[in-house]
Structure 1
Amino acid sequence: MHDAHLRIIIHLLLAGFLLSGFAAGVYADESSAPDDIESQSSAPYVPGEVIVKYKDGTVAALAAEGTGPVALKALGAEVATDFSAEGLDNLQALDITGPISVKEAIAELENSPYVAYAEPNYIISLSLPETDPAGPDEAGDFSALAFPNDPKFADHWGLSNTGQTGGVSGTDIKALKGWEITKGSDTIVVAVLDTGVDYTHPDLAGNIWINPGEIPNNGIDDDGNGYVDDVYGYDFINNDNDPMDDNGHGTHCAGIIGALGNNGIGVAGVNWKVKIMPLKFLRADGTGDTAASLNAIAYARRMGADIISCSWGGKAKSQALRDAIASTNALFPCAAGNEGSDNDKTPHYPSGFDLPQIISVAASDAKDGIPAFSNYGATKVDVAAPGDWIMSTYPTSLGHQYVKMKGTSMATPFVSGLAALLLAKEPSLTPAKLKARIMDTVDKLPGFAGKTVSGGRINVYKALGGGGSTPGVIPIPGMSKPPRDLNGDGRYEDLNGNGRADYSDVVTFFKYMDWISKNEPVEAFDFSGNGRIDFTDVVKLFQSI
């Protein structure tokens, strides 16, 4: 009898190995030829504007006064913004009003022994994702799940994938299990650097950060931070105190991080409780510039943001932007980009800066693969997160309260949201430790091997400390590590404890089935649900891989 079962399992395993071989081929490089790398000189920039970093603070102060050893007047230049006041020492933005070009001004400045570097004010442009508007909430739309009761939660496969969009059930971030540990905290602040946020949206208003030191609409800078009436954040591209979203991109990202959960409307975010700080530096058309991003980052740091979410980027390598990020004590989840290219060959920034604050994010789809649009990189892109047709919030003024979008822009706030959950549970985690925790607890899967540093898609439950071995589950003979529950369903599919579920686990289960039935908790290995350990469990495990 055992021989007959063994023959069946061997045939199944051979079929599985053949199928897995075909699947692995999907992700092979189609060409070994390197991509063309866009030079810095071709990156678009704002005409008549330069960013300069001085080596000495005295020189920077004199330059701001219009005097000193760097002859700005001779260049037809004057200081537009002195970032030193924002904690970015010796850094200034200049307006070039004379006949000299930006390139000529940079060359002159870099010839000065007092200048560390000079660069254009690079234009930052969103790769605007496609949108798919959602209909109104209806009673029939409510999720069949007992919680949360948000009507469109059933459409949010990234949080709970039941195969509802044609994907594979279970290929999600395990949010439901994670929420058993924490749903977030309103003490954690996530700055969304983007097109703004609709802070009046009914699914976001309760989670919007409010400046505690500012009295609304009194025309006074009450908290002395240099910004008048910045109650909900600030608009750094139009230089006003209203960070309302007139594009939709920022509101969509904000909803993924922290749409109110279990409130009977719309969707739920990765965090049910969190504070979203709206910082607008991109216009309605999705364009902004480095100088505006520097002001936004400086504001986020000054006002205490724990995480700074950046769903944007490009080919321009701005040293000033790198310096601004390096000056903070916050985690920066950054989008890897939507060109479908290898960031190891064609760099993308800010996601490609080698800084402990930055975690670079690719998109995953509902079948745990990397969509064709997503950038990737074995050494430059850290993790993957859901980014393919994600349901989230949208500005009411633009005609739809909820839409689906796709892009690494959507994947990034999943990581920002996970970081916020981690800080809610462990507030002392540094940016470097947050990054390490997120990367160390991914679900390692074939679709991300060789495409990301971690080789996996984020897992909320595991990052929060779930998904490990529990009392009663012990190592199987010959294994150095105990079995692991990788997806939070109470079944321990990783029998050899190596952090992934594959066909070696099926072989181990078959080989040690009698031992498992006598020494392990039945419920941990009862994959068929019949209340005992037998060959049906081996087959179910095989079918799940």
Structure 2
Amino acid sequence: MQFAHFRYLLTLIILTGLSFSGLISGVYADEVSESSNGTGESAPAPYVPGEVIVKYKDGTVAALAAEGSGPVALEALGAEVATDFSAEGLSNLQALDITGPVSVKEAIAELESSPYVAYAEPNYIISLSLPETEPAGPDEIGALSALSFPNDPKFSDQWGLFNTGQTGGISGADIGASKAWDITTGSNAIVVAVIDTGVDYNHPDLAGNIWTNPGEIPNNGIDDDGNGYVDDVHGYDFINNDNDPMDDNGHGTHCAGVIGAIGNNGVGIAGVAWKVKIMPLKFLRADGNGDTAASLNAIAYARRMGANVISCSWGGTAKSQALGDAIASTNILFPCAAGNAGSNNDITPHYPSGFDSPQIISVAASDAKDGIPSFSNYGATTVDVAAPGDWIMSTYPTSLGHQYVKMKGTSMATPHVAGLAALLLSKNPSMTPAALKAKIMDTVDKLPAFSGKTVSGGRINVYKALGGGGSSSGVVALPGMSQPPKDLNGDGKYEDVNGNGRADYSDVVTFFKQMDWISKNEPVAAFDFSGNNRIDYTDVVKLFQSI
């Protein structure tokens, strides 16, 4: 909501004796520069010219408002309050327009010298690291797509949900979604806000799962629910300031599909959660650029309108204290992308994924071989988990020429975690962000690639997180056996091949006889005893030696 209250900053000037003689003596170009971020640090980052975000100390704004002094000095300076975030539940936080001869850098220096100001910072520009994109081909009913459950024709391309090595990866290197759906496919009562480039809310694989504001009457030009936004039927566009969060970039729609494309509907793909409500909140333009102020409004809206999870597939090295405060003010889980620079976030922090907040779960990318792709950021103390993020098939805006594309990046990994959170909440809506985060991290598949690279040391496992026992690798009984193979020592290898509860030489004999069948019907990873990523006679030898 917009305000034009000059008196706050004017009274601040009067009370603190700020001098503007130095401010108006020179003009700085408000472009990429070394600028304060409210923490005493300096970081080169681009910001919006002529805009400053300021946080007053508790009680200050009310005291200044009571003074009610005239705006003559501010009129000369050309400063005004553009947005009062206090109305959005972010107390004492405002965005200022500095349209006079004073630079952003100078205004911040003056504001931070005041005892009434907690911090001041630029309105940082937030830019997507746009992922590579590969358009999907025509639907082809393959081995997986021929399954009755789910019947989505492009499910065979979704290795992250069910990996049989179909993309050159390793069988079983997935999040165990196919078995998890036997437990739950989600709930329409759970709302996931996608703060991004918007969402194609008319997409045939998404339309039925798009959130609708129950208190708003469409297209009547009235703010029916009194939340400050007119006709916000399916969310809002905070960067263009209108009620149409349609995606004109593609990134947000892709993320939304990973979270909640309608599953088993005979169309396209399946989301991690088949039943969920996606709340489209646009704060990035078609070119992938937005700003901190727009993200603050989006977060405030998501909190006010009842989002249960907020998915953030974006970020950078600029540390906005205002953004950190906005996240901390919620009681909502924030899956956040770790970044795509291939760097260590312990050394070069990345935000918002790197804020020290219990609401945030930072997500790296995994590939189809359960490795960490070269583009993915990592961090033993700052990145929590990994999730599939390498060439992920998902939805895309129809208006951009393709309904489905593959993308790669931690942007694609993050919505896998958001989808998992939605499934967990569908079973237990009372789970707190801390409980959700702990459950997700405690049930990962621990993998060598993520040991020392993430806090949890592993890639998410939806089946285990939902309480599924044993392994999610999908092993089945061999021909002539009444029981499926068993992993007796928890190392991920199913040495009890015949399923009789013990490992002995009969397992070696069974394995030798059924090698061809195993290679075609079982997850390779479960029976690759030699570690060469295939089933052959070396596995017979290794199994024999282990017994």
Short-chain TM bin: 0.7 to 0.9
Which secondary structure state, in structure 2, belongs to the residue aligned with residue 120 of structure 1? Answer: strand
Query: Which residue of structure 2 aligns with residue 454 of structure 1?
Result: 456
Report what 2:393 is aligned to.
391
Per-residue deviation, 1:265: 1.0
1:322 counterpart (321, 324, 338): 324
Alpha-carbon offset, residue 496 of structure 1: 3.3
Q: Which structure 2 residues correspond to residues 466-481 of structure 1 after superposition, within 5 A? A: 466-468=468-470
SS in 2 for 1:516: coil
**Residue 468 of structure 2 aligns to a residue in which SS?**
coil
1:463 to 455, 465, 478: 465
**Rounded Cα–Cα distance in structure 1 between residues aligned with 2:67 and 2:230:** 24
Counterpart pick for 1:429 among 410, 428, 431: 431
Per-residue deviation, residues 270-325 of structure 1 (Å, max 9, x unmatched) = 01100000000000000000000000000000000000000000000000000000
How many angstroms apart in 1 are the aligned matches of 2:305 and 2:511? 50
Contact 2:179–2:472, Cα closer than 8 Å, also in 1: no
Structure 2 equivalent of residue 171 of structure 1: 173
Aligned partners of 2:285, 2:67: CA distance in 1, in Å? 31
Which residue, out of 338, 342, 354, partners 1:336?
338
Among 379, 382, 393, the alignment partner of 1:380 is: 382
Q: Distance in 2 between matches of 1:515 and 1:388?
A: 37
Report the 3-state secondary structure (helix = DSSP H, G, I; strand = E; otherwise coil) of the residue aligned with 2:255.
Answer: helix
Quote the offset at 1:139 in angstroms: 5.4
Q: Is the 8 A contact 2:222 2:231 kept in 1?
A: yes
Q: For the Cα contact (< 8 Å) 1:162–1:168, is it kept in 2?
A: yes
SS in 1 for 2:438: helix
Residue 58 of structure 1 deviates from its aligned partner by: 4.8
The structural deviation recorded for 1:73 is 5.2
Aligned partners of 2:252 and 2:67: how far apart in 1? Answer: 37
Native 8 Å contact 1:237 1:280 kept in 2 = yes
- Which residue pairs with 2:139 in the alignment? 137
The answer for unaligned runs of 5 or more in structure 1 is 1-37, 469-484, 531-538
SS state at 1:359 partner: strand
Could you say which residue in structure 1 is the equivalent of 2:309? 307
In the other structure, the counterpart of 1:352 is 354
Query: How well do the aligned residues superpose, as a CA RMSD in angstroms?
Result: 2.8
Measured in 2, the distance between the counterparts of 1:51 and 1:336 equals 25
Which of 473, 487, 491 matches 1:487? 473
Q: Distance in 1 between matches of 2:155 and 2:67?
A: 56
Give the residue type in structure 1 aligned to 2:488.
L
> Which residue identity lines up with residue 156 of structure 1 in the other structure?
Q
- How far has the Cα of 1:70 moved from its partner? 13
Is the Cα–Cα contact under 8 Å of residues 373 and 390 in structure 2 kept in the other structure?
Answer: yes
CA distance in 2, matches of 1:64, 1:364: 55
Query: Does the Cα contact within 8 Å between 2:236 and 2:242 map onto a contact in 1?
Result: yes
Select the residue among 523, 529, 532 that pairs with 1:542: 529
Separation of aligned partners in 2, 1:527 and 1:117? 66
- SS of the residue corresponding to residue 59 of structure 1 reads helix
Pick closer, same or farther for the CA change 1:55–1:139 going to 2, 3 Å. Answer: same
Matched, 1:439 2:441: yes
Relative distance call for 1:41 and 1:64 in structure 2 (3 A) is farther
Q: Is the 8 A contact 1:142 1:150 kept in 2?
A: no
Hey, what does 2:183 align to over in structure 1? 181
Query: What are the superposed Cα offsets for residues 353-410 of structure 1, whole Å, 9 maximum, x if unpaired?
Result: 0100000000000000000000001111000000000000000000000000000000
Equivalent pair of 1:64/1:79 in contact (CA under 8 Å): no
Q: Residue type matched to 2:473 in 1?
A: N
Match of 2:502 in 1: 516
Task: Give deviations 1:120-143, integer Å, cap 9, x for gaps.
Answer: 000000000010001333556971
Task: Tell me the residue number matched to 1:114.
Answer: 116
The one-letter code matched in structure 2 to 1:220 is I
* Paired residues of 2:283 and 2:294 also in contact (CA < 8 A): yes
Determine the C-alpha separation between the residues in 1 that align with 2:70 and 2:279: 38
1:230 partnered with 2:217 = no
In structure 1, C-alpha distance between the alignment counterparts of 2:296 and 2:512, rounded to whole Å: 55
Amino acid in the other structure paired with 1:501: G
- Structure 1 residue 68: Cα displacement: 9.0
1:274 aligns with 2:276: yes
Which amino acid letter does the alignment assign opposite residue 372 of structure 1?
S
Q: Which residue of 2 aligns with 1:4?
A: none
Answer yes or no: is the 8 Å Cα contact 2:125–2:290 preserved in 1: yes
Quote how far apart the aligned CAs of 1:74 are: 6.7
Residues 254-293 of structure 1: matches in 2 within 5 Å?
254-293=256-295
Contact 2:387 2:416 in 1 (8 A): yes
Percent identical: 81
Match of 1:155 in 2: 157
* Unaligned 5+ runs, structure 2: 1-36, 477-483, 515-525, 534-547
Instruction: State the alpha-carbon separation in 2 of the partners of residues 515 and 385 from structure 1.
Output: 32
Give secondary structure in 2 for the equivalent of 1:254.
helix
Tell me the CA shift for residue 147 of structure 1.
1.2
- Provide the secondary structure at the position in 2 that maps to 1:256: helix
| Kept after mapping to 2: 8 A contact 1:467/1:487 | no
Write the distance in 2 (CA, Å) between the matches of 1:61 and 1:160: 59
CA distance in 2, matches of 1:246, 1:453: 35
Q: Distance in 1 between matches of 2:172 and 2:57?
A: 53
- CA–CA distance in 1 between the matches of 2:142 and 2:529? 36
Q: Check whether the contact 2:60–2:116 (CA below 8 A) recurs between aligned residues.
A: no
| Partner secondary structure for residue 120 of structure 2 | strand
**Structure 1 residues 515 and 267 mapped into 2: Cα distance closer, same or farther (>3 Å)?**
closer
Aligned-pair CA distance for 1:516? 2.3
Q: What does the per-residue CA deviation read over 1:40-79, in whole Å, with 9 as the maximum and x for residues that have no partner?
A: 4411110100000001345267469974999755753110
Secondary structure, counterpart of 2:413 in structure 1: helix
